């Protein structure tokens, strides 16, 4: 779910190398599809990652997100649609 004129980021490809999209939906909603290639950017971001990892590990730096199980998908979508979600919304499929 991406809001109109929003951005969707592609990170990794552990689920496979192919992606099927309904292009009409993307074009009509004016959604940007952004590949995130950390392999080619490793030198560019390595120092920042090394600097931030201790703060993330200790809990000093937190990244806000809301986690929902698949049984609460409707709640997660509602939070996104209303803009009430804090940070990112994560859907836990496990």
pLDDT digits (tens, 9 = 90+) for 8-50: 887 767 677 887 888 888 888 898 888 877 777 778 777 887 8
pTM for this entry: 0.46
**Which of 63, 41, 65, 42 shows the shortest CA–CA distance to 52?**
63
Q: Note the pLDDT of residue 71.
A: 94
Question: Is 88 in contact with 67 (CB distance < 8 Å)?
Answer: no
CA 8 to chain centre: 7
């Amino acid at each position: 779910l991406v809001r109109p004129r929003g951005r969707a980021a592609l990170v990794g490809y552990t689920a496979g190398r192919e992606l099927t999209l309904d292009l009409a939906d993307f074009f009509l909603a004016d959604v940007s599809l952004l590949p995130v290639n950390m392999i080619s950017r490793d030198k560019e971001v390595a120092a920042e990652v090394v600097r931030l990892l201790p703060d993330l590990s200790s809990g000093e730096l937190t990244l806000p997100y809301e986690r929902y199980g698949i049984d609460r998908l409707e709640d997660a979508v509602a939070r996104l649609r209303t803009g009430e979600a804090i940070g990112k919304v994560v859907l836990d499929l496990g």
